[in-house]
Amino acid sequence: MRTLLALPCLLIACATTEPIAAPSPQGSPTRLEAVPRQPAPFDARNFAATQLTPIECEKAARHLREVNPDQGWAALAACIERSRWPRGEFTNLELLTAGAWDQDLQTRPDAPRLIAKVMALRGGDVEGDIPLVQKSRLPVFTLAAALRQPDVYRGRWIVVRAALSDIRQEGTKTAAMMRETSLRATAREVQEGSISRIDRSGSTTARAEVQTSRYGDARGSAQINSSGRTEYSRVKQRFENERVETGRIAVGKLAQADPFLEPEKDFLFLARFDGVSVGREEHPVAMLTVAGYFQPNALLIQ
């Protein structure tokens, strides 16, 4: 019975994690060699899913980068790509441009896309965020800079906030007319608290009698009534972000028609600057190759 139970493992190779015997010359003792196990691949999405907040996620990715730069960058990308954070989205651009990630932002090919997404999550204030990003020497620029010096910025990444006015498709080629938009702070007064009212009323009576011997008697009287109401409340000056069009126009080449790109709705586009064409009334029109887009958050973070 003992022999029958041992036969299966003698006839076939049994799966085991123990060291296996290496072949040895006849008469010499058997030598055991350990087979190294392959480490499990790094799961960046699972790494980000275990973090409580975007700030903690970036901090953990930064510590991981000190041990393994590739895994650290993959972890940071997963932190940015993660949606539905319980305590807010990844909007702290200052963490990325503080210096620890400068080399990655300058060399990683997916860095411009990740930064563009963070800018969209912050509300899409391109003019306000690009100077902050350029502190880390990330090669991403504005449409205004590209139009001023087309030869210098040809082939470089730009981020533009724009609304589509027209999409045309010819065969397999799709192009969209884009009008650049921007955010401008507008001040207005907002009432604080309830309105207070004060009512005032009063009356005045005057009477006069004059008697003369030549012209007779004269009598007169007058009564004056007055009333009024005063209303007042406290007001506070607040600033709101007003959407305005800058007047700059671009034509963006798309990989394919996208039904989510609704006309007259603002998007944040990441695109390659291909040069300038002359449009109507000799206004320059930027030629772009769109690599991606994001819908900006309605709440602007400064």
Encode pLDDT of 235-281 as tens digits: 665 656 778 899 999 999 998 888 888 888 999 999 999 999 986 66
Asked if the structure places residue 109 within a domain, the reply is yes
What is the reported pLDDT for 226? 61
Question: Beta strand pairing status for 217-254 and 20-22?
Answer: unpaired
Structural domain boundaries enclosing 57: 44-137
In angstroms, rounded to a whole number, what is the distance separating the alpha carbons of residues 292 and 89?
19
Last residue of one domain, picked from the residues 210, 237, 264: 237
Asked if the structure places residue 187 within a domain, the reply is no
Asked if the structure places residue 87 within a domain, the reply is yes
Asked if the structure places residue 10 within a domain, the reply is no
Last residue of one domain, picked from the residues 137, 158, 188: 137
Q: Which amino acid is at 260?
A: F
Nearest to 58 by CA among 85, 41, 42, 80: 80
What is the reported pLDDT for 206? 54
Q: List, for residues 111-130, the tens digit of each pLDDT value.
A: 999 999 999 999 999 999 99
Q: Do residues 204 and 123 both lie within one domain?
A: no
Q: Is the pTM of this model over 0.85?
A: no
What is the reported pLDDT for 51? 93
By the 10 Å C-beta count (0-12 exposed, 13-18 middle, 19+ buried), 179 is classed as middle
Q: Do residues 131 and 48 both lie within one domain?
A: yes
What is the reported pLDDT for 166? 85
Asked if the structure places residue 34 within a domain, the reply is no
Quote the distance between the C-alpha of residue 181 and its chain's center.
15
Asked if the structure places residue 229 within a domain, the reply is yes
Q: Would you place residue 4 in the very low, low, confident or very high pLDDT band (cuts 50, 70, 90)?
A: very low
Q: Do residues 50 and 124 both lie within one domain?
A: yes
The answer to whether 163 and 183 have CB atoms below 8 angstroms apart is no
pLDDT at 74 over 70: yes
Asked if the structure places residue 211 within a domain, the reply is yes
Last residue of one domain, picked from the residues 137, 171, 187: 137
By the 10 Å C-beta count (0-12 exposed, 13-18 middle, 19+ buried), 300 is classed as middle
In the chain, the number of structural domains is 2
In angstroms, rounded to a whole number, what is the distance separating the alpha carbons of residues 294 and 29?
67
Nearest to 123 by CA among 254, 243, 289, 239: 243
Q: List, for residues 274-297, the tens digit of each pLDDT value.
A: 999 986 667 899 999 999 999 998
Asked if the structure places residue 69 within a domain, the reply is yes
